[in-house]
Structure 1
Amino acid sequence: MDKQQILMVHKNIVDKEGVFLKSIEQLEKCIKYYERAATPFITPEMRVVLEEIVKYERDVETVVHSGFKHFERCRLEWFPDYLSASDSSEYIQALRLTYQQKFNKLGHRDVLGALMGLGISRQKIGDIVVLEEHIDIVVDASMAVYISANLDKVGRAGIRIAPIELDALREHTPVMRCVDDTVKSLRLDAVIASAYHLSRQEAQQLIKGGSVRVNYREMLQTSHLLLEGDLVSVRGKGRFMLESVEGETKKARIRITLSHFDT
């Protein structure tokens, strides 16, 4: 594995905190010394790239530790293929935050800010899911006791926080808005133009400007053909999934259904 070459090829996701570099170094450790290793919490973009890289390492197994079934951030564990995966509790811990909702309304940003205000870096924090009754958080297992002992306030709200079992985590069901339309083709620029009521030229500018990701990968090709189930994110506009392709109209246009993720 050529670390420098990997960093050069994927320089678009090299981050200021050095999370991607640390992850590559952990993978290198596993390959060279046949040791179990794990990443910090990584973004979906990093996960896609790292899983692609490790495909070519025949003696290395990968497992995802996330807590939630539907997740954004996770930790990857790597280990020699003659070993077994660790229990997720060795790497991640679930915490449940409760507070008086009659007088306060907390959101994702409030909780993340409070955690980072304790001196905890973003790479130690996984997903934060805001529910009606409480807020569920996944963190690096090594930070759980510190957070439980020191986090007693988020914004102006006094809070209680306690560890829970990973299988007690509550899933957040994303709010989806389905829209039916027709497009001339399944090219990325055509579908983005349909999704956000843009001209084809405006959609192409977004793609060429690096604002578009398909399945968490940056996509610069305007002619890239989408498939059912592909997830498209456009910086500043949101995310949608190509839910279904229903065949052609009499005018040879393609019927599609897009599911927009409401924020």
Structure 2
Amino acid sequence: MSIYQHFRPEEKEFIDQVLNWKEAVENAYAPKLTDFLDPREQEIARTIIGNQTDVKIDFFGGTDGTERKRAFLYPEYHQLAADDFEICLYELDYPKKFITIEHPQVLGSLMSLGLKRGKFGDILVFRDRIQFFVTKDVAEYISLQLESVGRAKVSLIQQPIAHAIQLQEQWQEIVVTSTSLRLDTVISAVHNLSRQKSQMFIQQGLVKVNWMIIENTAFECRESDVISVRGYGRLKIISLDGKTKKERWRITAGKVK
């Protein structure tokens, strides 16, 4: 039985990467630290490594409740410690009285530095405070290169991990029905949009499923999928509860409040 049949075809490349990490730990009998992974990548890695005794895996993103986390694969002899994850926390210092900075601006400025998305963890925004996590190997480079966000001049203050802003997302559970599990029909059902509008969002690259841009309107949704539509927030398919008498799918979903 092939391991790939449990996942979507587009996830094959990442599956191969996880298998290579596992093999490297087994052969070298030494730990392997990854960049930040999104929750779907974490789920795939956890599933592949499983509960093996020879290779173990743990995840940490800097604080409780973070979405993006680094994976640490290690042989059973290794005693895991928080320092193993090599994460740094920065806070933006900027003229708060005169300027408002938002999450997309921070991410855009970080990505403009020429680094991969995996080098950055969660961006934490609470009122006028903004923090973000980075991998230790690029922390000094970022502190030297990041001089502005949007039109604001900024400087970075390194903070102890323990001083990270604590955020908790609240999810509202809803039950909807949909004519099919196609991405466009699910979005229409959950957000009460016309199918034409949902298709437009998808075709314009404004929709992500499990943190990947999906431009195929007929993409089939599954249980546990996280779907984000720019401007409408995120939803998670909690469960598929069978069909109604009218042959419509009954879907239990969670929407971020």
Length-normalised TM-score, structure 1: 0.69
Q: Counterpart in 2 of 1:13? A: 11
Q: How many Å apart are 1:82 and its aligned residue?
A: 1.7
Quick one: which of 56, 76, 90 aligns to 2:71? 76
Residues 1:31 and 2:34 are matched in the alignment = no
**SS, match of residue 37 in structure 2:** coil
Q: How many Å apart are 1:161 and its aligned residue?
A: 0.9
Q: Counterpart in 2 of 1:233? A: 227
* Corresponding pairs, count: 245
Tell me the C-alpha RMSD between the 2 structures: 4.7
Q: Is the 8 A contact 2:90 2:132 kept in 1?
A: yes
Quick one: which of 90, 104, 107 aligns to 1:109? 104
Q: How many Å apart are 1:62 and its aligned residue?
A: 0.9
Q: How many Å apart are 1:101 and its aligned residue?
A: 2.2
Q: Counterpart in 2 of 1:142? A: 137
Q: Distance in 2 between matches of 1:215 and 1:134?
A: 25
**Residues 117 and 199 of structure 1, relative CA distance in 2, 3 Å threshold:** closer
Q: Distance in 1 between matches of 2:4 and 2:137?
A: 29
Deviation larger for 72-81 or 55-64: 55-64
Q: Is the 8 A contact 1:65 1:88 kept in 2?
A: no
Q: Distance in 1 between matches of 2:238 and 2:49?
A: 29
Q: Is the 8 A contact 1:181 1:194 kept in 2?
A: no
Residue type at the aligned position of 1:13: E
* Percent of residue pairs bearing the same amino acid type: 25
- 5+ long unaligned stretches in structure 1: 245-254
Q: Counterpart in 2 of 1:249? A: none
Q: Distance in 1 between matches of 2:210 and 2:147?
A: 39
Q: Is the 8 A contact 2:120 2:134 kept in 1?
A: yes
**Residues 234 and 118 of structure 1, relative CA distance in 2, 3 Å threshold:** closer
Residues 1:44 and 2:39 are matched in the alignment = yes
Q: Distance in 1 between matches of 2:174 and 2:86?
A: 42
Q: Distance in 2 between matches of 1:117 and 1:108?
A: 14
Length-normalised TM-score, structure 2: 0.70
Deviation larger for 135-144 or 99-108: 99-108
Q: Distance in 1 between matches of 2:219 and 2:152?
A: 47
Residue type at the aligned position of 2:143: S
**SS, match of residue 57 in structure 2:** strand
Residues 1:173 and 2:168 are matched in the alignment = yes
Residues 1:129 and 2:124 are matched in the alignment = yes
Matches within 5 A, 1:84-233: 84-88=79-83, 90-174=85-169, 176=171, 178=172, 194-197=189-192, 232-233=226-227
Deviation larger for 114-123 or 32-41: 114-123
